Amino acid sequence: MQAVKELVAKFNSEQGCMLLVHNLMSMFVDDGSLSDEPSDQSQTTDENSEAGSVEDKDSSGTPGSADFLKNWIIETMPRILKNLKVESEAKFRVQTEVLKFLAVQGIFSSSLGTEVTSFELQEKFKWPKAAISSTLCRLCIEQIQLLLANAQKEEGLASLSNVLDRNDLGSYFMRFLDTLHNIPSLSLYRHLSNDDEKAFKELQLMETQLSSEERNSGNKIDASKLHALRYLLIQLLLQVLLRPGEFSEAASELVTCCKKAFPAACHDESMEEDDQSDDDEAPNWMDVLIDTLLSLLPQSSSPISSAVEQVFRFFCDDITDSGLHRMLRIVKKDLNPGRRRGMEQDSDEDDDDFLGLEEAEDGEEAQSEETGESGDHADDSDDMMETNETGEDNRDVKDPSVSDDSDEEMDDEAMFRMDDKLALIFKEKRNLAAGKVTAQSQLVLFKLRVLSLLEIYLHRNPGKPQVLTVYTYLYRAFVNSYASEGGEQLRQRISGILQKKILKSKEYPRGDEIQLSTLQPLLEKSLEAASRSNQKPIISLAESSMFWLLKIIHARSFSESELEGVFKLFKDVLTDYCDNKKSRVKPAIVRDVFQRHPWISHHLFGFLLEKCGGAVSEFRRVELLNILSCIFKSWSSKKGDGDKDASSRSKMLKQHLPTLCELFQKVLTNEDHLKRAELRRHCAKVLQAILALNLKKSFLKALTPDAYAACESHLGQNFLPFKKSPG
């Protein structure tokens, strides 16, 4: 089979691919060339006929069987296009040939023989004499979905407004589908329910209307929106055929959204009546669209997910806060939250509404859903416990009554009964575990797809205030993933989005809508996590978050009185580090903040000096002095700053010179020889800043005789510029 795949890959011209496609089509419809042992295949009993679908499914995986080869042909057809290296027109001709084959064999069946001629298309279509299984029909439809999804990706966005029908594979497919559907002797491969049939017709009609509007649209953005909606309609139509009864409601809602988005394209009297009757009660159509898109993501195929992303890409600029909030709740959702997280749930829920987005009913719904899920899980666990206890009790009761020499028959019966119970218990455990794993994996897939939508939103709206909302939910989801099963994949995805699309983005949330009362609690949590967490990824993310939040705060130009709460956060951190021997605060975090945001270090300079002098240990004092020396180093190197900035720093330092001189004396007379060299380096940096700010005279004036002697004795050449001339 590998050799055949390699051979197929060598067909890269239009003529060669067409020849291969036609030969494969002939093999598919020619039962004789595919039949293995026809005499055996033709002899079926009534019992076998009743189980035909099962046999069909099984035989499709049996090498050498007719269904196996048909299956291979269906999967090979689209693969031919991967290696096709021709111009777009030639590739389109091969695509349509493959598409027609898959549509004829997968979607339709003929009631009048194996050949049907379409006079409108001037083509003859053939089917195998023995109808193919429903499994193969579904495979054909799935291949159509993939073919259309790949074609949509290849089109690109540059020429969407100039796309012609003959180069639009989706449009070609829908016209072809409509033509064959109108042939009396042809019918769909399966019977549609009333709801599915209604959805099928609505999707067909809406796609036709949007296609016409797209051709006539002079606006490139509108044409792109129409194109994306059309392809989602087509994918949904195929999904209705694939999975009966599951997508009719979503199809109806999507059609309604199309009518709302492009009313001029939809000439529907019923729509006008709906508009008149529902204007007052109807929800925002963008909210309906978001809900519909989300409903398609959990268990849909990859092509459906891709089509949803394309629609979201062109409509997400208009998403409401309510719609965005619903998406974020999905990312936060967990099937089995840990006990500690459950205890903290109330406080977390309060934080959700930090921009006033959450409605009361959303909170009630979420609470009832979570209660219901945990309740179900608890019931299952209780049932399992009862089953186990029953089995153990029965065994314990029977054992004493069993004699070593008699009642051997009862022992066997009891043993068999016990085996049956154990088998039932193990089966229930396996089913419970399998169900939990399946539900968890589905939830993870759902979250990953929603995260892809959020990434698109962030890429298109990097500076909106709503980015802060997204950040808050993603940050919490990242931290919570450490307590969730299967959280590694989600954690990496969330971290990537946070870093690339939010924290390291050139744009950041701006505007008066962003309040300090919102930013300050987030900053506090980030500072706490960065200072105290044991998880390196959380520390790294918290640090990046802290700097990002400070950048937003600084850009808002709040007054010093308004920023008092922010300053207090760092005062509390410094106090904890200086006064508490068990403090887990990492001083490097504070140092980095002071270096990147001088407006904070400027305000806290005096406070830091005081804390440095009264540190609980010499080690802590050295660490704080390291922070101070970094501040002084930045001051001494900023020669190009304006006079106003230099004057401000000079004035502030002059005000704190007495405290600084006391600190010099305390540090330089320290008997800890291990830290002496490091302390001298820090003091040298301070002296350089004093010289740079022209405060030499003021510094010497503030030095006590003992402090001067300590400087002269321990600082050597670094103190030479400050030495008083003799006499």
What distance in Å separates the CA atoms of residue 603 and residue 588, rounded to the nearest whole number?
19
Q: What is the pLDDT of residue 50?
A: 37
| For residue 66, pLDDT beyond 70 | yes
End-to-end CA distance of the chain: 102
The mean pLDDT value for 447-471 works out to: 96
The mean pLDDT value for 633-638 works out to: 72
**pTM for this model (two decimals):** 0.79
- Other CB atoms within 10 A of residue 134 CB: 15
Counting residues of the chain whose pLDDT is more than 70, the rounded percentage is 74
Query: What value does the mean pLDDT of the chain take?
Result: 80
Comparison of pLDDT for 639 and 528, the residue scoring more: 528
In one letter, which amino acid is 214?
Answer: E
Q: What is the pLDDT of residue 112?
A: 83
Q: What is the pLDDT of residue 420?
A: 55
| For residue 402, pLDDT beyond 60 | no
Going by pLDDT thresholds of 50, 70 and 90, the confidence category of residue 677 is confident
217 within 8 A of 161, measured Cβ to Cβ: yes
Length of the chain: 727
| For residue 715, pLDDT beyond 80 | yes
Which pLDDT tens digit goes with each residue over 28-61?
998 665 554 443 433 333 433 333 343 344 455 5
Q: What is the pLDDT of residue 271?
A: 52
Q: Identify the weakest region by mean pLDDT among 290-294, 333-337, 553-557, 628-632.
A: 333-337
Q: Identify the weakest region by mean pLDDT among 305-309, 322-326, 458-462, 696-700.
A: 696-700
Going by pLDDT thresholds of 50, 70 and 90, the confidence category of residue 613 is confident
Q: What is the pLDDT of residue 716?
A: 85
The mean pLDDT value for 114-133 works out to: 91
Q: What is the DSSP track for 174-242?
A: HHHHHHHHTSTTEEESSPPPHHHHHHHHHHHHHHHHHHHHHHH---HHHHHHHHHHHHHHHHHHHHHHH
In 3D, which of 437, 507, 448 has the Cα closest to residue 477? 448
The mean pLDDT value for 565-573 works out to: 94
Which pLDDT tens digit goes with each residue over 244-296?
999 999 999 999 999 999 998 876 555 555 555 555 566 889 999 999 999 99
The mean pLDDT value for 647-661 works out to: 88
| For residue 378, pLDDT beyond 60 | no
Q: What is the pLDDT of residue 638?
A: 57
Q: What is the pLDDT of residue 393?
A: 42
Q: Identify the weakest region by mean pLDDT among 92-101, 539-548, 624-633.
A: 624-633
| For residue 388, pLDDT beyond 50 | no
Which pLDDT tens digit goes with each residue over 167-202?
899 999 999 999 999 999 999 999 999 999 999 999
The mean pLDDT value for 219-223 works out to: 90
Helix (H) or strand (E) holding 643, with range, is helix 643-655
Distance of CA 708 to the CA centre of its chain: 62
Q: What is the pLDDT of residue 108?
A: 94
Q: What is the DSSP track for 516-559?
A: HHHHHHHHHHHHHHHHH-S-HHHHHHHHHHHHHHHHHHHHTT--
| For residue 643, pLDDT beyond 90 | no
In 3D, which of 542, 497, 506, 504 has the Cα closest to residue 522? 542
Helix (H) or strand (E) holding 440, with range, is helix 408-460
**Exposed (0-12), middle (13-18) or buried (19+): which is 6, by Cβ within 10 Å?**
exposed
In 3D, which of 651, 649, 662 has the Cα closest to residue 621? 662
Counting residues of the chain whose pLDDT is more than 90, the rounded percentage is 45
Phi, psi of 359 (to 5 degrees): -90, 155
